[in-house]
Amino acid sequence: MARLAKLPFADLGFARVDHHRSLRAGFPEVVFCQGKRPEHVVAIFSELLSHGSAALGTRASQEHADAVQRALPQIHYHVSSRLLMSPRPAIVAPRPGPVLVVCAGTSDLPVADEAALTAEFLGCHVERLCDVGVAGIHRLLAAEAQLRAARIIVAVAGMEGALPSAVAGLSGRPVIAVPTSVGYGASFSGLAALLGMLSSCASGVTVVNIDNGFGAGYAAALTLRSATTAPLEQTRSPES
Amino acid sequence: MARLAKLPFADLGFARVDHHRSLRAGFPEVVFCQGKRPEHVVAIFSELLSHGSAALGTRASQEHADAVQRALPQIHYHVSSRLLMSPRPAIVAPRPGPVLVVCAGTSDLPVADEAALTAEFLGCHVERLCDVGVAGIHRLLAAEAQLRAARIIVAVAGMEGALPSAVAGLSGRPVIAVPTSVGYGASFSGLAALLGMLSSCASGVTVVNIDNGFGAGYAAALTLRSATTAPLEQTRSPES
Amino acid sequence: MARLAKLPFADLGFARVDHHRSLRAGFPEVVFCQGKRPEHVVAIFSELLSHGSAALGTRASQEHADAVQRALPQIHYHVSSRLLMSPRPAIVAPRPGPVLVVCAGTSDLPVADEAALTAEFLGCHVERLCDVGVAGIHRLLAAEAQLRAARIIVAVAGMEGALPSAVAGLSGRPVIAVPTSVGYGASFSGLAALLGMLSSCASGVTVVNIDNGFGAGYAAALTLRSATTAPLEQTRSPES
Amino acid sequence: MARLAKLPFADLGFARVDHHRSLRAGFPEVVFCQGKRPEHVVAIFSELLSHGSAALGTRASQEHADAVQRALPQIHYHVSSRLLMSPRPAIVAPRPGPVLVVCAGTSDLPVADEAALTAEFLGCHVERLCDVGVAGIHRLLAAEAQLRAARIIVAVAGMEGALPSAVAGLSGRPVIAVPTSVGYGASFSGLAALLGMLSSCASGVTVVNIDNGFGAGYAAALTLRSATTAPLEQTRSPES
Amino acid sequence: MARLAKLPFADLGFARVDHHRSLRAGFPEVVFCQGKRPEHVVAIFSELLSHGSAALGTRASQEHADAVQRALPQIHYHVSSRLLMSPRPAIVAPRPGPVLVVCAGTSDLPVADEAALTAEFLGCHVERLCDVGVAGIHRLLAAEAQLRAARIIVAVAGMEGALPSAVAGLSGRPVIAVPTSVGYGASFSGLAALLGMLSSCASGVTVVNIDNGFGAGYAAALTLRSATTAPLEQTRSPES
Amino acid sequence: MARLAKLPFADLGFARVDHHRSLRAGFPEVVFCQGKRPEHVVAIFSELLSHGSAALGTRASQEHADAVQRALPQIHYHVSSRLLMSPRPAIVAPRPGPVLVVCAGTSDLPVADEAALTAEFLGCHVERLCDVGVAGIHRLLAAEAQLRAARIIVAVAGMEGALPSAVAGLSGRPVIAVPTSVGYGASFSGLAALLGMLSSCASGVTVVNIDNGFGAGYAAALTLRSATTAPLEQTRSPES
Amino acid sequence: MARLAKLPFADLGFARVDHHRSLRAGFPEVVFCQGKRPEHVVAIFSELLSHGSAALGTRASQEHADAVQRALPQIHYHVSSRLLMSPRPAIVAPRPGPVLVVCAGTSDLPVADEAALTAEFLGCHVERLCDVGVAGIHRLLAAEAQLRAARIIVAVAGMEGALPSAVAGLSGRPVIAVPTSVGYGASFSGLAALLGMLSSCASGVTVVNIDNGFGAGYAAALTLRSATTAPLEQTRSPES
Amino acid sequence: MARLAKLPFADLGFARVDHHRSLRAGFPEVVFCQGKRPEHVVAIFSELLSHGSAALGTRASQEHADAVQRALPQIHYHVSSRLLMSPRPAIVAPRPGPVLVVCAGTSDLPVADEAALTAEFLGCHVERLCDVGVAGIHRLLAAEAQLRAARIIVAVAGMEGALPSAVAGLSGRPVIAVPTSVGYGASFSGLAALLGMLSSCASGVTVVNIDNGFGAGYAAALTLRSATTAPLEQTRSPES
């Protein structure tokens, strides 16, 4: 009851923490750490955990992680993906999925990690496939069965970003494309891959921001949940 | 049997028509008409219909439509969305959805039409909501229940393209964002909306190309089908 | 008399310091510190203070601040906003305002600080509202009364920069929009927010440079002063 | 009472017409005509006028104007500025202002017209100054008294867009800068002027979209009204 | 002897026609027609043919073609590729090749035509493969033998431009990639394909300008000739 | 005397015509016609000629020319360069120069015409050299003596814009580089040439706007006059 | 036999190493090191060398090199070009070529090194020519004989990137152009050179990514091999 | 005689040093140091000085300077402008000029220094004027006499880069405009100033690369020398 009384959010001065979203959507609050002072990140995580919410921090630096873990040792930090994760509640079966996270090259791994860990954190069954860029198309063809068995696919690629087009054609599955900043020169820090994915000749491809593995993993998980669970009961909106 | 013998595609010289995709994915072949000569579009539609495939033509000019309808009077042309559509087979209940197509302003209607008609053509239950841009946020709030009842939302907006962020936050649903070229000056033919949607502060938003209503409608329909139907039985791949 | 004799400016060789502006406009001289050598910044502040002018330094590094404070201990340095401020004269009541400084996320705080401190330095009554981005629109709606009570609003946002559109619609007040470089990838260091704000579908929005909190605070204060005070008596122009 | 009952907006299907805004803000509803079908523009104007609202249409083509005037002969069309204007109610004295609209060259006149007519439509006292670009600075200096007597200045310029910087320095007044698409080559349809104005070395300059004379005129009028009138009584918000 | 006396070029005032190049390189002079006045194009072709040189005109409009053919009926105009071609001398066997011209979609045909006709005009054996974009990768795989049998491949694609990467990987052959302006929105008139091809993850890919079928066909032919013929005897340079 | 009384300019309402500049600089007033209404151009020319000033109109359309010549038959219109020119006063010997206008290809002729005619209109001795692009470097080398004899060189080129670098190196003379919009695709309407010229590895190159033949011709003439004539007697400035 | 059994690739989890390519194309596998963790690079090199494949690592940092050489001391690291190279097998005569690597300035040397070393690693006879930019065209002319004797030319240049146009014209040979990031300001990290090379007025020029010396060297070597060796016997494709 | 025998250049392997240029043009050889290894810069300076040439190094880092001064103590390094200068020969009167170097703000000083020192090194009489940006136009007006007395003006400005337009109008003199990277956000490292200067509404303005003070100073000096000295006797060209 105390928690409901504080709805719709707690005003920390520098942040308005939304406990309501977790109730409403069943998903944790997400904290974009980049550009925030470490003490602010600590305070937001503390507020969320004190109300029993799960919390996910994205783009957290080592400095953010150190500050958070000093105050909240139960938070886990994953270095490659830069994710801060609160302990996850036990999963109630069955997990939706599989979400298949595919990446074009080994250099794309940190972004693919971010996507896969996010979808897992949100309760999905996740599979991985690595180093299947279109320049060696037989490596992708060898995984055709796995591609076609996925419910939804996250395709991560830098450079020319051609992987999602090939994956969408081969799998017949919806593909969330993640351009990465892998490359140099005319790849313009991921712009080439981004424009290529947006211009994809394949149907069923949607795109997120450059290096936004989190966004792809979140959208994949939300999509599966939204499509397959019973309609949300109409909660009282904060405006009423 | 004759049809299977021609797999995986019919080579018309200027085009390789893929009857296989329709079999495999359960979705019609899509013909990108822009830049094609009218006689080529006619030939491709003829080849598809002669094999009983459904067919959808996008970005068809009036000249394309005239040529196709002269040869194939059963094809329907929708002027605003520039879609060419073969007759749809009777829908087997229940239709997946609702897919909610939301647009920011009246000028965005042609793109919203393209998205809505595409999703309907692919068998979905589609709802519409028009002129709910963020500058008059109470118009969007008045539709909160409808937003939260959707399975997946297509949000269409030009200018600053802020609609998908607000919609994602209000609905808790996955949002496919479609930037439009509505605007002038610093909107750079849809670039401002595109970059804004990619940079959205809301989780659960994915993006398609500028003015690509078709792509959003297709992805929405494919996503619902992929998430909710039984796994595809592993068809014989064309390479084996 | 000695001061008037030096009109219209003092030529330091590397800078022409304008005592005249302060007389004419009632506002202090502003020193853009970035790219200037610390000893030059010190000399300019010294020249200004020796004539009794107030002075505001923007984009000052810690190195600038150290040099200035060594020579002029009465100058205050605000770390987050990077402002150097001379002691302010006592304010003669009533202060114009309220100027309401709104920001979308916690990462936008340094820019919001710069705007708010500038407007206060120039004599305005300033209020603050933080972390009210459009993805959680109910957080903004909860502050509707405060929005509508402002005389002028400074809206600070990075990423897709949608906040000013929503604020302008809700408040019916003029909004000075400040894009920030918060974000990554397709936000292109604030370009996405900048283009979005320029393309805003809401009327009454004007825009300043990326991260230019100073510019927004100054324009807000100058606007209130210009609109509400008696016409300036026609001072003798420097050309006459 | 009937009008209040229809609050907050009338849903025409393709548009949600906001009578509420006019009540709330005292300003007319604005219709962005570009990209809208003429019959839609007619219907929106009809809906607005049937409720006694004033209405302003921007970026209206001759085709829009013809359709609207056929149905609503009382609507005036101004060719150069492409504005559609409903009859204005009699002005209650005194008019706020002066708003001074300054333009750099004769080719900038259509945009300056749009700004000046908009501010006048919204009840301001407007003055004009034309062809005072910085390449002939004595032409601008000759108007220094007029510049300094303005409450707010709209400065319109294409090419390098240097006018607002010079005007802001000379006048000590807030300047709303409007870049125009006048120029060629490296002016990139107004981009050079836009970037220049955003990067202005003068304090007190804010910027609107390229060729957005309407936006500047509206912001000028809204600013004067907001700064000088008594606080709005808190109207019942549509969400309550 | 008279011809040699006029070396190194004939000065027509508006053009300096290089008979020398044809002698030196064994290839015809190429006339870039776009932006030239028809009478100038006629005069250049006349000068070239009067000396027995072969001549190729690129980007010729119908107006150019009409003017040239009126004066020089032996010149052939190919509408789709916009090439003007003088009669070709009989080919001395064997023709180098095969040059394989591959294109992603039917809309890319005009550019593929330009590449193929150019290489044929320069004496190569040319093969064609059409509509093998990466979204239907089995259509490309079906042609693997033909890909691997080519000496050099020209790969033409718009949209995301992923074809050259897949072709290079499958064929093990050098690929000259031609981005086309096919697409819309974020394809930015071929920019997406161009950047993608330059950023290709496949080795052995080089790129020419957007829609530059001529450049690719010329480079392919020149490469085969340069690699396989005996070294050129050192001709007297024009400077000596 | 009457003329002096009207100094510093005549205010036509839509334009402030500067007779002073002609007196002060010895050069005619220049009218940028693009975007101006024909009647405005006529009025400005009439005002200038009524005071005996020479006048030059740039970027004049045929419609501008027709309107001007109807009112002022003595004005000459040059179609290719789009210049409107008043009769020139007899030249007093000796003419400064030579100004050498060099262009890379025949398609660059209109811009080269604009540069050459402007410099001649301003009294210079002008020479021309056409179709000497760097791809046929011996055509340029053949003119080395002419290059080295020039006082100043205007180098006009589109596409990659390499001509000014080669010309500066060969001639040892100052080069004003004019990028043209000749080209397609990655030449981005002259951007490639512009960036190339700005990045030139040769010393002594300065650059004007894309297609700005006028600007180059004017700067060349002004430079020769400024460098070689006696210092201007200090005229009374308009501000004093 | 064991090696064939592992075809088509070895899956290391984070990478799928393609031994097949080396067999099929006769060229070594190439490892793009940038963005990969050192231990991953070590593992890939180890896998390749354990199967007797040659291996080439590009864009390797000193940290990559240290890790690789600790495990595999036979690998050579070339600092300037950042290449990691396995020992090369003895060359069977005759070497194809000459490949001539030309660079515009001394600052372009690291990229020229990368091109030359790559082509040599792939078995070509390579020659070098340095500091022959177009601003001192006689330095290039002095090497005309060497230019004309090459089979294929790699032309490396930053700033305005004009070298390939001049080289192509002088040599009559195919030119692979490599833009470098040498320059500042409007060279935009190689963009000026890239656009210039793509827009080259010379025929026979193809382009690779900015600073991609490896890509140019590889394409040159592959082209010579493909053009001059007997057709590859049709190997069993991995899909059959 | 020995020196002439080595014409036209000395090939150091990594550089071709041009003694000829100094003879031909009377100006020293210029060495672009950025991106060159220190030992290469030392070797080039040594070669030049050993033949008695004057030498100027641009964009030299402290590391370059240390290496050069260790080997050649007579070379002077100017820190702010990053110039390396050999001892200048005694000037033979009279010096051409004045060249007036004007800069908008104190932060532009390093670039203004580079321009002024270069022109002085090349023998000109140089004057300076600092901190006269257009936002305080009376500071510029106060120097009108000095502006009008210059033979040629170098105008240095960042941010919106408006200074050259105002200077050209006031002075009636040719202006070489230098955009600087001073500014932030939408100034895009000097792009705003560059585009503004290229689009200047004032006649007589030419532009060099961002931060290219050297280029402006060199062009100013070369222009004065070329315009005022007797024609160069036709030297024997290196090709003859």
| Cis upstream peptide for F238 (omega within 30°) | no
Could you tell me how many helices (H) and strands (E) chain C has, helices first? Answer: 10, 11
pLDDT at H52: 80
Cβ atoms C168, B162 nearer than 8 A:
no
Best CA proximity match to D104, nearest among D152, D166, D32: D166
- Distance separating alpha carbons of residues G123 and E5, to the nearest angstrom: 44
Q: Are residues A79 and A125 in the same domain?
A: no
User: Cβ distance H14 to G109 under 8 Å?
Assistant: yes
Nearest-angstrom CA–CA distance, G159 and E212: 23
DSSP state letters, G126-178: EEEEES--GGGHHHHHTTHHHHHH-SEEEEEE-TT--HHHHHHHHH-S-EEEE
Nearest-CA neighbor of B83 among B125, B137, B126, B28? B28
Which CATH number belongs to the domain containing residue G148 in this structure?
A: 3.40.50.1970
A236 is a domain residue? no
Amino acid at B223: T
Name the residue of chain E whose CA is nearest to G238's CA. E170
Q: How many CB atoms lie within 10 A of CB A26?
A: 14
Domain termination residue (choose one: A85, A116, A143)? A85
pLDDT of G90: 65
Q: Which are the contacts of E207, defined by CB distance < 8 A and separation ≥ 6?
A: E176, E177, E178, E179, E194, E197, E198, G198, G206, G207, G208
Q: Span G207-224, mean pLDDT?
A: 97
pLDDT of residue H215 exceeding 90, the answer is yes
F55 and F33 in a common domain = yes
F78 lies in the same domain as F103: no
With a cut of 70, say whether residue F9 has pLDDT above it. yes
- pLDDT of E23 over the 70 cut: no
C122 class by beta-carbon count within 10 Å (0-12 exposed, 13-18 middle, 19+ buried): buried
The tokens describing F31, both together, are 């009218």
Cα R_g (chain D), whole angstroms = 19
The three-state (H, E, C) secondary structure of chain E, written as one string: CHHHHCCCCEECCCCEECHHHHHHHCCCEEEECCCCCHHHHHHHHHHHHHCCCCEEEECCCHHHHHHHHHHCCCCEEECCCCEEECCCCCCCCCCCCCEEEEECCHHHHHHHHHHHHHHHHCCCCEEEEECCCHHHHHHHHCCHHHHHHCCEEEEEECCCCCHHHHHHHHHCCCEEEEECCCCCHHHHHHHHHHHHHHCCCCCCEEECCCCCHHHHHHHHHHHHHHHHCCCCCCCCCCCC
Specify whether the CB–CB gap between B133 and D15 falls below 8 A: no
Touching pair D, G by Cβ (3+ pairs < 8 Å): no
Q: Which residue of A has its CA nearest to E181?
A: A199
**pLDDT of D92:** 64
Could you say which of H51, H85, H119 is where a domain stops? Answer: H85
Q: What is the structure's pLDDT at F25?
A: 57
Helix, coil or strand: residue A216: helix
Distance CA E227, CA E201 (A): 26
Report if residue C91 sits inside a domain: no
pLDDT value of position A233: 38
Query: Which residues of chain A does C129 touch, with a Cβ-Cβ cutoff of 8 Å?
Result: none
State residue F239's pLDDT score.
37
Residue-level pLDDT, tens digit, chain A, 240 residues:
454 445 567 888 888 887 766 555 568 889 999 999 999 999 999 999 988 888 999 999 999 999 999 999 999 999 999 999 998 766 666 789 899 999 999 999 999 999 999 999 999 999 999 999 998 888 899 999 999 999 999 999 999 999 999 999 999 999 999 999 999 999 999 999 999 999 998 999 999 999 999 999 999 999 999 988 755 433 333 333
Tell me the two tokens of residue H13.
């392997």
Amino acid (one-letter) located at E138: H
Q: A8 and C185 in contact by Cβ < 8 A? A: no
Residue A93 neighbours by CB under 8 Å, 6+ apart: none
Q: How would you write D189-210 as a 3-class SS string?
A: HHHHHHHHHHCCCCCCEEECCC
Span G87-115, pLDDT tens digits? 876 666 678 989 999 999 999 999 999 99
- Identify which of E8, A99, G14, A214 has the alpha carbon closest to the alpha carbon of residue B202: A214
Q: Which residues of H touch D (CB under 8 A)?
A: 104-105, 133-137, 141, 159-162, 165-166, 168-170, 183, 185-188, 191-203
Average pLDDT, chain G: 88
Same domain for C69 and C117: no
Q: Which chains sit next to G, with 3 or more Cβ pairs under 8 A?
A: A, E, F, H
In a domain, G91, yes or no: no
G141, G227, G234 ranked by CB distance to E145: nearest? G234
Distance CA E126, CA F238 (A): 73
pLDDT of residue E90: 66
Q: Which residues of F touch E238 (CB under 8 A)?
A: 138, 141-142
Confidence (pLDDT) at G233: 38
pLDDT of residue G1: 46
Is residue G63 predicted with pLDDT exceeding 70? yes
Cβ contact A160–E161 (<8 Å): yes
Residue H238, domain member (yes or no): no
Tokens 């494309």 found at: A177
pLDDT reading at C24 higher than 80: no
Shortest Cα distance, chain D CAs vs residue C59, angstroms: 14
Per-residue pLDDT tens over the stretch C44-53: 999 999 888 8
Residues of chain C with Cβ-Cβ distance to H185 below 8 Å are: 179, 181, 189-190, 194, 209-212
β-bridge mates for residue E20, sequence order: none
Residues F164 and F119 in one domain: yes
Q: What is the DSSP string of A56-123?
A: EEES--HHHHHHHHHH-TT-EEETTTTEEEPPPPPPPSPPP-PEEEEESSGGGHHHHHHHHHHHHHTT
d(CA C108, CA C115): 11
User: At residue C232, does pLDDT exceed 60?
Assistant: no
Is F175 found in the same domain as F115? yes
Q: Is B15 left (phi over 0), alpha (psi -120 to 50) or beta?
A: beta
Q: Which among D137, D185, D199 has the least Cβ separation from residue H169? A: D137
pLDDT at H14: 82
What percentage of chain H has pLDDT greater than the value 90? 70
Poorest-confidence range of B79-93, F63-77, H22-36?
Answer: H22-36
List beta partners, residue D78. D83
Confidence (pLDDT) at D54: 86
Confidence of residue H20 (pLDDT cuts 50, 70, 90): low
User: Domain check: are G81 and G103 in the same one?
Assistant: no
D169 inside domain? yes
DSSP string, G17-84: E-HHHHHHHSS-EEEE-TTS-HHHHHHHHHHHHHTT--EEEES--HHHHHHHHHH-TT-EEETTTTEE
More confident residue, F46 or F20: F46
The residue type at D46: S
Q: How far is CA A112 from CA A148, A180, B202, in A?
A: 19, 10, 20
B139 and B208 share one domain? yes
Give the whole-angstrom CA distance, residue H92 versus residue F217: 32
H47 and H10 Cβ atoms separated by less than 8 Å: yes
- D214 with D137, same domain: the answer is yes
Average pLDDT on B130-149 reads: 91
User: Is the pLDDT at B70 greater than 90, yes or no?
Assistant: yes
Structure confidence at residue B29 (pLDDT):
86
Q: Which of E58, E85, E112 is the last residue of a domain?
A: E85
Q: Looking at residue D103, what is its pLDDT? A: 95
- Is B215 found in the same domain as B119? yes
- Residue C174 falls inside a structural domain: yes
Contact assessment for residue D153 and residue D167, using Cβ atoms and an 8 Å cutoff: yes
Query: Does residue A141 belong to any structural domain of this protein?
Result: yes
Within this chain, do residues H210 and H105 fall inside the same structural domain, yes or no? yes
Contact F173, F166 (CB under 8 A): no
F107 lies in which domain range? 99-226
Helix (H, G, I), strand (E, B) or coil at D120: helix
Q: Which residue of D has its CA nearest to F207?
A: D186
**Cβ–Cβ gap H139/C190 under 8 Å:** no
- pLDDT averaged over every residue in chain H: 88
pLDDT at C235: 38
Determine the pLDDT at residue D1.
46
What residues of F are in contact with residue H209 (Cβ under 8 Å)? 198-199
**Is the confidence at residue F225, as pLDDT, over 70?**
yes
Q: What does the alpha-carbon distance between residue D209 and residue D218 come to, in Å, rounded to a whole number?
A: 13
Reported residue count of chain F is 240
At residue F229, does pLDDT exceed 80? no
Q: Which residues of F touch D106 (CB under 8 A)?
A: 14-15, 36, 40, 44
Q: In this complex, which of B172, B207, B232 lies closest to A25 when CB atoms are compared?
A: B172
Q: Is residue D173 part of a domain?
A: yes
pLDDT at F3 over 60: no
Mean pLDDT, range H84-94, rounded to an integer:
78
- Shortest Cα distance from E162 to chain B (angstroms)? 17
Residue H89 confidence (pLDDT) = 67
Of chain G, the percentage scoring pLDDT greater than 90 comes to: 70
pLDDT at residue F226 tops 80: yes
Name the closest residue on chain A to residue G9, using Cα atoms.
Answer: A139
Signed CA dihedral, G50, G51, G54, G57: sign only? negative
Judge if F64 and F180 occupy the same domain: no
Q: Do the two chains G and H touch, given a threshold of 8 Å on CB pairs and at least 3 pairs? A: yes
pLDDT-derived band at H65 (thresholds 50, 70, 90) equals very high
Cβ of D227 within 8 Å of Cβ of C227? The answer is yes
Q: Name, of A92-106, B174-188, C86-100, the range with top average pLDDT.
A: B174-188
**CA dist D61 to D28, D105, H16, Å?**
20, 24, 63
Interface partners of chain A (CB pairs < 8 Å, 3 or more) are B, C, E, G
What tens-digit pLDDT sequence spans chain D (240 residues)? 454 445 567 888 888 887 766 555 568 889 999 999 999 999 999 999 988 888 999 999 999 999 999 999 999 999 999 999 998 766 666 789 899 999 999 999 999 999 999 999 999 999 999 999 998 888 899 999 999 999 999 999 999 999 999 999 999 999 999 999 999 999 999 999 999 999 998 999 999 999 999 999 999 999 999 988 755 433 333 333
Chains with 3+ CB–CB pairs under 8 A to E are A, B, F, G
* Residues in a beta bridge with B130: B103
What percent of chain E shows pLDDT beyond 90? 70
For residue E177, the one-letter residue type is A
Contacting residues for E67 by C-beta, under 8 A, at least 6 apart: E38, E39, E41, E42
For Cα atoms D85, D89, D91, give the angle at the middle one, nearest 5 degrees: 115
Query: Which tokens sit at F157?
Result: 């080129």
What is the pLDDT, as a whole number, of residue C27? 81
Using a CB-CB cut-off of 8 Å, the residues of chain B touching D15 are 105-106, 130-131
Between B5 and F207, where is the model more confident? F207
Instruction: Quote the strand ranges of C167-235, DSSP E.
Output: 175-179, 205-207
Q: How many domains does chain F contain in total?
A: 2
